[in-house]
Structure 1
Amino acid sequence: MATTAKKTTVRKTPAKKDAAKELKDLFEDGLKDIYWAEKALVKALPKMHKNATNEKLKNAIVQHLKETEGHVSRLEECFKSMGKKAQAKKCDAMQGLLDEADSILKETEPGTVRDAGIIAASQKVEHYEIATYGTLAAFAKVLKEKVALKNLLATLEEEKQCDKSLTKLADTNLNVKAK
Protein backbone atom coordinates (compact mmCIF):
# COMPACT_ATOMS: atom_id res chain seq x y z
CA MET A 1 0.00 0.00 0.00
CA ALA A 2 1.59 3.24 -1.12
CA THR A 3 1.13 6.43 0.81
CA THR A 4 1.44 9.86 -0.58
CA ALA A 5 2.78 12.65 1.46
CA LYS A 6 1.92 16.24 0.92
CA LYS A 7 4.86 18.17 -0.49
CA THR A 8 5.90 21.06 1.67
CA THR A 9 8.47 23.63 0.85
CA VAL A 10 11.20 23.82 3.43
CA ARG A 11 13.27 26.95 3.45
CA LYS A 12 16.60 27.63 5.03
CA THR A 13 16.42 29.84 8.08
CA PRO A 14 18.23 33.09 7.49
CA ALA A 15 20.93 33.91 10.04
CA LYS A 16 20.57 36.94 12.28
CA LYS A 17 23.11 39.74 11.87
CA ASP A 18 24.95 38.71 15.05
CA ALA A 19 24.84 34.98 14.29
CA ALA A 20 27.79 32.79 15.23
CA LYS A 21 30.24 32.53 12.36
CA GLU A 22 32.82 30.29 14.02
CA LEU A 23 32.78 27.51 16.61
CA LYS A 24 34.25 29.94 19.16
CA ASP A 25 31.19 32.19 18.72
CA LEU A 26 28.84 29.23 19.15
CA PHE A 27 30.81 28.15 22.23
CA GLU A 28 30.57 31.61 23.80
CA ASP A 29 26.83 31.77 23.05
CA GLY A 30 26.42 28.36 24.71
CA LEU A 31 28.30 29.55 27.79
CA LYS A 32 26.05 32.62 28.04
CA ASP A 33 22.99 30.40 27.72
CA ILE A 34 23.98 27.89 30.42
CA TYR A 35 25.20 30.72 32.67
CA TRP A 36 21.68 32.19 32.58
CA ALA A 37 20.22 28.71 33.13
CA GLU A 38 22.34 28.01 36.20
CA LYS A 39 21.54 31.41 37.71
CA ALA A 40 17.82 30.82 37.12
CA LEU A 41 18.12 27.42 38.75
CA VAL A 42 19.71 29.00 41.84
CA LYS A 43 16.51 31.06 42.17
CA ALA A 44 14.16 28.12 41.45
CA LEU A 45 15.61 25.44 43.73
CA PRO A 46 14.51 27.05 47.03
CA LYS A 47 10.88 26.90 45.83
CA MET A 48 11.30 23.20 45.02
CA HIS A 49 12.80 22.67 48.49
CA LYS A 50 9.91 24.44 50.16
CA ASN A 51 7.37 22.29 48.30
CA ALA A 52 9.11 18.92 48.83
CA THR A 53 8.02 16.79 51.78
CA ASN A 54 10.46 13.86 51.63
CA GLU A 55 13.52 14.62 53.79
CA LYS A 56 15.94 12.85 51.44
CA LEU A 57 14.57 14.88 48.53
CA LYS A 58 14.84 18.10 50.52
CA ASN A 59 18.46 17.25 51.34
CA ALA A 60 19.18 16.44 47.68
CA ILE A 61 17.78 19.83 46.65
CA VAL A 62 19.94 21.64 49.22
CA GLN A 63 23.00 19.74 47.97
CA HIS A 64 22.18 20.57 44.36
CA LEU A 65 21.70 24.24 45.20
CA LYS A 66 25.24 24.34 46.64
CA GLU A 67 26.58 22.58 43.55
CA THR A 68 24.66 24.92 41.24
CA GLU A 69 26.20 27.94 42.96
CA GLY A 70 29.56 26.31 42.25
CA HIS A 71 28.56 25.79 38.60
CA VAL A 72 27.89 29.53 38.30
CA SER A 73 31.37 30.23 39.70
CA ARG A 74 32.97 27.72 37.31
CA LEU A 75 31.24 29.35 34.36
CA GLU A 76 32.51 32.74 35.50
CA GLU A 77 36.00 31.22 35.55
CA CYS A 78 35.46 29.92 32.00
CA PHE A 79 34.61 33.41 30.78
CA LYS A 80 37.56 34.91 32.65
CA SER A 81 40.01 32.36 31.19
CA MET A 82 38.88 33.43 27.72
CA GLY A 83 39.32 37.12 28.52
CA LYS A 84 35.55 37.68 28.50
CA LYS A 85 33.16 39.21 30.99
CA ALA A 86 30.63 36.69 32.32
CA GLN A 87 27.40 37.40 30.52
CA ALA A 88 24.04 35.67 30.71
CA LYS A 89 21.72 35.25 27.73
CA LYS A 90 18.18 34.03 28.42
CA CYS A 91 17.96 30.28 27.99
CA ASP A 92 14.55 29.50 26.53
CA ALA A 93 15.02 25.77 27.17
CA MET A 94 15.68 26.23 30.90
CA GLN A 95 12.85 28.76 31.15
CA GLY A 96 10.52 26.16 29.67
CA LEU A 97 11.73 23.47 32.06
CA LEU A 98 11.31 25.77 35.06
CA ASP A 99 7.83 26.78 33.89
CA GLU A 100 6.94 23.10 33.61
CA ALA A 101 8.28 22.45 37.12
CA ASP A 102 6.12 25.29 38.43
CA SER A 103 3.09 23.76 36.69
CA ILE A 104 3.81 20.41 38.33
CA LEU A 105 3.74 22.09 41.74
CA LYS A 106 0.37 23.66 40.98
CA GLU A 107 -1.07 20.44 39.55
CA THR A 108 -0.14 18.15 42.46
CA GLU A 109 -1.17 17.91 46.08
CA PRO A 110 1.63 18.23 48.64
CA GLY A 111 3.11 14.86 49.55
CA THR A 112 4.61 11.94 47.72
CA VAL A 113 2.91 12.65 44.38
CA ARG A 114 4.30 16.20 44.35
CA ASP A 115 7.69 14.83 45.44
CA ALA A 116 7.63 12.43 42.48
CA GLY A 117 6.76 15.37 40.23
CA ILE A 118 9.63 17.42 41.66
CA ILE A 119 12.03 14.57 40.91
CA ALA A 120 10.66 14.23 37.37
CA ALA A 121 11.04 17.96 36.72
CA SER A 122 14.51 17.97 38.29
CA GLN A 123 15.66 15.10 36.10
CA LYS A 124 14.50 16.91 32.97
CA VAL A 125 16.65 19.84 34.05
CA GLU A 126 19.59 17.50 34.74
CA HIS A 127 19.29 15.87 31.33
CA TYR A 128 19.28 19.27 29.63
CA GLU A 129 22.35 20.31 31.63
CA ILE A 130 24.15 17.03 30.88
CA ALA A 131 23.55 17.52 27.15
CA THR A 132 24.67 21.15 27.31
CA TYR A 133 27.81 20.59 29.36
CA GLY A 134 28.78 17.61 27.20
CA THR A 135 28.44 19.69 24.04
CA LEU A 136 30.29 22.68 25.49
CA ALA A 137 33.11 20.43 26.73
CA ALA A 138 33.47 18.99 23.22
CA PHE A 139 33.68 22.53 21.82
CA ALA A 140 36.20 23.56 24.48
CA LYS A 141 38.38 20.57 23.61
CA VAL A 142 38.46 21.46 19.91
CA LEU A 143 39.06 25.14 20.72
CA LYS A 144 41.86 24.20 23.15
CA GLU A 145 40.18 26.12 25.96
CA LYS A 146 41.84 24.06 28.70
CA VAL A 147 40.50 25.93 31.74
CA ALA A 148 36.97 25.89 30.34
CA LEU A 149 37.28 22.19 29.46
CA LYS A 150 38.38 21.29 32.99
CA ASN A 151 35.51 23.28 34.53
CA LEU A 152 32.88 22.01 32.11
CA LEU A 153 33.89 18.38 32.62
CA ALA A 154 33.82 18.80 36.42
CA THR A 155 30.31 20.23 36.23
CA LEU A 156 29.22 17.54 33.77
CA GLU A 157 30.24 14.84 36.28
CA GLU A 158 28.31 16.56 39.08
CA GLU A 159 25.22 16.80 36.88
CA LYS A 160 25.44 13.09 36.02
CA GLN A 161 25.83 12.22 39.70
CA CYS A 162 22.83 14.36 40.63
CA ASP A 163 20.75 12.56 38.02
CA LYS A 164 21.82 9.17 39.42
CA SER A 165 20.98 10.29 42.94
CA LEU A 166 17.52 11.46 41.89
CA THR A 167 16.89 8.14 40.12
CA LYS A 168 17.94 6.24 43.22
CA LEU A 169 15.73 8.40 45.42
CA ALA A 170 12.73 7.85 43.15
CA ASP A 171 13.40 4.12 42.82
CA THR A 172 14.02 3.44 46.52
CA ASN A 173 10.31 3.76 47.25
CA LEU A 174 9.16 7.31 46.62
CA ASN A 175 7.47 6.43 43.31
CA VAL A 176 5.82 3.36 44.87
CA LYS A 177 4.44 5.48 47.72
CA ALA A 178 3.13 8.01 45.18
CA LYS A 179 1.24 5.22 43.40
Structure 2
Amino acid sequence: MQIKNSEELFVRLLSLANSAEQQMTKALPKLARAAENPELVEMFEHHLEETEGQLERIDQVASTLDITLKRIKDQSMATLIGDGEEFIEATEKGALRDAALIGAAQRVEHYEIAGYGTLCALAEELGYTEAKNILAETLAEEKSTDEKLSTAAETKINKQA
Protein backbone atom coordinates (compact mmCIF):
# COMPACT_ATOMS: atom_id res chain seq x y z
CA MET A 1 0.00 0.00 0.00
CA GLN A 2 1.35 3.38 -1.00
CA ILE A 3 1.42 5.99 1.80
CA LYS A 4 0.83 9.40 0.23
CA ASN A 5 0.73 11.85 3.13
CA SER A 6 1.22 12.32 6.88
CA GLU A 7 -2.39 11.48 7.66
CA GLU A 8 -2.08 8.10 5.93
CA LEU A 9 1.22 7.49 7.72
CA PHE A 10 -0.46 8.22 11.06
CA VAL A 11 -3.26 5.73 10.27
CA ARG A 12 -0.70 3.10 9.28
CA LEU A 13 1.37 3.60 12.43
CA LEU A 14 -1.72 3.59 14.65
CA SER A 15 -2.88 0.38 12.96
CA LEU A 16 0.51 -1.20 13.62
CA ALA A 17 0.31 -0.13 17.27
CA ASN A 18 -3.13 -1.72 17.48
CA SER A 19 -1.78 -4.97 16.05
CA ALA A 20 1.20 -4.89 18.41
CA GLU A 21 -1.00 -4.39 21.48
CA GLN A 22 -3.37 -7.16 20.38
CA GLN A 23 -0.41 -9.51 20.04
CA MET A 24 0.78 -8.50 23.51
CA THR A 25 -2.58 -9.38 25.07
CA LYS A 26 -1.88 -12.95 23.97
CA ALA A 27 1.82 -12.96 24.86
CA LEU A 28 1.72 -11.45 28.37
CA PRO A 29 -0.23 -14.31 29.99
CA LYS A 30 2.37 -16.73 28.57
CA LEU A 31 5.18 -14.62 30.02
CA ALA A 32 3.45 -14.52 33.41
CA ARG A 33 3.05 -18.31 33.43
CA ALA A 34 6.68 -18.81 32.39
CA ALA A 35 8.14 -16.51 35.04
CA GLU A 36 9.04 -17.72 38.52
CA ASN A 37 9.73 -14.50 40.43
CA PRO A 38 6.41 -13.32 41.94
CA GLU A 39 7.28 -9.66 41.34
CA LEU A 40 7.92 -10.38 37.66
CA VAL A 41 4.70 -12.39 37.37
CA GLU A 42 2.84 -9.42 38.88
CA MET A 43 4.51 -7.00 36.45
CA PHE A 44 3.42 -9.08 33.46
CA GLU A 45 -0.13 -9.40 34.81
CA HIS A 46 -0.31 -5.67 35.53
CA HIS A 47 1.02 -4.82 32.09
CA LEU A 48 -1.70 -7.00 30.55
CA GLU A 49 -4.29 -4.78 32.24
CA GLU A 50 -2.46 -1.70 30.95
CA THR A 51 -2.29 -3.18 27.46
CA GLU A 52 -6.04 -3.69 27.43
CA GLY A 53 -6.41 -0.02 28.35
CA GLN A 54 -3.94 0.92 25.63
CA LEU A 55 -6.09 -0.86 23.07
CA GLU A 56 -9.07 1.14 24.30
CA ARG A 57 -7.05 4.33 23.87
CA ILE A 58 -6.16 3.39 20.30
CA ASP A 59 -9.87 2.89 19.60
CA GLN A 60 -10.55 6.25 21.25
CA VAL A 61 -7.99 7.97 19.00
CA ALA A 62 -9.48 6.32 15.91
CA SER A 63 -12.97 7.36 16.97
CA THR A 64 -11.90 10.92 17.81
CA LEU A 65 -10.28 11.33 14.39
CA ASP A 66 -13.00 9.35 12.57
CA ILE A 67 -10.49 6.96 11.04
CA THR A 68 -10.68 3.25 10.35
CA LEU A 69 -7.76 1.16 11.51
CA LYS A 70 -6.18 -1.08 8.89
CA ARG A 71 -6.21 -4.81 9.49
CA ILE A 72 -2.48 -5.42 9.32
CA LYS A 73 -0.09 -7.51 11.38
CA ASP A 74 2.89 -5.87 13.03
CA GLN A 75 5.58 -8.33 11.93
CA SER A 76 8.24 -6.70 14.09
CA MET A 77 6.18 -7.31 17.22
CA ALA A 78 5.54 -10.88 16.11
CA THR A 79 9.31 -11.40 15.83
CA LEU A 80 9.98 -9.87 19.25
CA ILE A 81 7.30 -12.06 20.84
CA GLY A 82 8.75 -15.08 19.06
CA ASP A 83 12.15 -14.32 20.52
CA GLY A 84 10.60 -14.31 24.00
CA GLU A 85 8.92 -17.63 23.32
CA GLU A 86 12.28 -19.08 22.27
CA PHE A 87 13.73 -18.04 25.65
CA ILE A 88 10.92 -19.90 27.39
CA GLU A 89 11.68 -23.04 25.39
CA ALA A 90 15.46 -22.72 25.82
CA THR A 91 15.52 -22.27 29.61
CA GLU A 92 14.15 -23.99 32.66
CA LYS A 93 11.84 -22.10 34.97
CA GLY A 94 13.91 -20.05 37.40
CA ALA A 95 16.06 -16.96 37.70
CA LEU A 96 17.90 -17.47 34.40
CA ARG A 97 14.61 -17.67 32.50
CA ASP A 98 13.30 -14.66 34.41
CA ALA A 99 16.37 -12.65 33.37
CA ALA A 100 15.84 -13.72 29.75
CA LEU A 101 12.15 -12.79 29.94
CA ILE A 102 13.00 -9.35 31.27
CA GLY A 103 15.39 -8.84 28.36
CA ALA A 104 12.75 -9.94 25.87
CA ALA A 105 10.10 -7.77 27.51
CA GLN A 106 12.38 -4.74 27.47
CA ARG A 107 13.04 -5.19 23.77
CA VAL A 108 9.26 -5.06 23.29
CA GLU A 109 8.94 -2.01 25.54
CA HIS A 110 11.66 -0.15 23.65
CA TYR A 111 9.93 -0.96 20.36
CA GLU A 112 6.62 0.31 21.74
CA ILE A 113 8.25 3.44 23.18
CA ALA A 114 9.67 4.23 19.73
CA GLY A 115 6.29 3.62 18.10
CA TYR A 116 4.26 5.73 20.51
CA GLY A 117 6.90 8.47 20.50
CA THR A 118 6.62 8.64 16.72
CA LEU A 119 2.81 8.67 16.89
CA CYS A 120 2.84 11.49 19.46
CA ALA A 121 5.21 13.59 17.37
CA LEU A 122 3.20 13.01 14.21
CA ALA A 123 -0.09 13.72 16.00
CA GLU A 124 1.34 17.01 17.23
CA GLU A 125 2.54 17.94 13.74
CA LEU A 126 -0.90 17.15 12.31
CA GLY A 127 -2.67 19.19 14.96
CA TYR A 128 -4.30 16.12 16.54
CA THR A 129 -3.95 17.51 20.05
CA GLU A 130 -6.46 15.21 21.75
CA ALA A 131 -4.98 12.16 20.01
CA LYS A 132 -1.49 13.22 21.06
CA ASN A 133 -2.57 13.54 24.68
CA ILE A 134 -4.25 10.13 24.63
CA LEU A 135 -1.21 8.47 23.03
CA ALA A 136 1.12 10.23 25.48
CA GLU A 137 -0.62 8.35 28.32
CA THR A 138 0.33 5.07 26.69
CA LEU A 139 3.88 6.28 26.02
CA ALA A 140 4.25 7.11 29.72
CA GLU A 141 2.99 3.64 30.71
CA GLU A 142 5.45 1.94 28.37
CA LYS A 143 8.34 3.98 29.80
CA SER A 144 7.24 3.16 33.34
CA THR A 145 7.06 -0.56 32.56
CA ASP A 146 10.55 -0.43 31.08
CA GLU A 147 11.88 1.27 34.22
CA LYS A 148 10.23 -1.33 36.48
CA LEU A 149 11.72 -4.16 34.44
CA SER A 150 15.17 -2.55 34.67
CA THR A 151 14.87 -2.17 38.42
CA ALA A 152 13.80 -5.80 38.87
CA ALA A 153 16.69 -7.00 36.71
CA GLU A 154 19.32 -4.81 38.33
CA THR A 155 18.31 -5.28 41.96
CA LYS A 156 17.34 -8.96 42.07
CA ILE A 157 16.81 -11.17 39.11
CA ASN A 158 20.07 -10.78 37.18
CA LYS A 159 22.04 -11.41 40.39
CA GLN A 160 20.05 -14.59 41.04
CA ALA A 161 20.60 -15.78 37.47
Tell me if TM exceeds 0.5: yes
What residue is the counterpart of 1:106 in the other structure? Answer: 89
Counterpart of 1:15?
none
Contact 1:97/1:124 (CA < 8 Å) preserved in 2?
A: yes
Does the 8 Å CA contact 1:35/1:87 hold for their aligned counterparts?
no
- Correspondence 1:66 to 2:49: yes
Partner of residue 10, structure 2: 27
2:144 alignment partner in structure 1: 161
Equivalent residue for 1:91?
74
Name the TM-score, length of structure 2 as normaliser.
0.97
Tell me how far apart the structure 2 counterparts of residues 72 and 131 of structure 1 sit (CA, whole Å): 17
Query: What is the alpha-carbon distance in structure 1 between the residues aligned to residue 26 and residue 156 of structure 2?
Result: 28
Counterpart residue identity of residue 4, structure 2: K
Q: Within 2, Cα distance between the matches of 1:68 and 1:88? A: 18
Instruction: Tell me: higher relative CO, structure 1 or 2? Use CA pairs within 8 A at least 6 residues apart.
Output: 2
Percentage identity across paired residues of the two chains: 37
Provide the C-alpha distance between the structure 1 equivalents of 2:28 and 2:156, rounded to a whole number of angstroms. Answer: 23
Is 2:117 the counterpart of 1:134?
A: yes
How much has 1:39 moved relative to structure 2? 0.6
Distance 2:69 2:59 in 1: 5
Structure with a larger share of its residues in helix = 2
State the TM-score, normalizing by the size of structure 1: 0.88
For these two proteins, the number of residue pairs brought into alignment is: 161
Q: Would the aligned equivalents of 1:80 and 1:86 in 2 still touch at CA under 8 Å?
A: no
Per mean C-alpha deviation after superposition, the further-off stretch among 146-155 and 117-126 is 146-155
- Listed as ranges, the gaps of 5+ residues in structure 1 are 1-17
Partner of 1:14: none
Displacement of 1:109 in angstroms is 1.0
Q: CA RMSD in A?
A: 0.9
Provide runs of 4+ in structure 1 moved above 4 Å. none
Q: Is this contact kept in 2: 1:105–1:114, CA < 8 A?
A: yes
Larger radius of gyration: 1
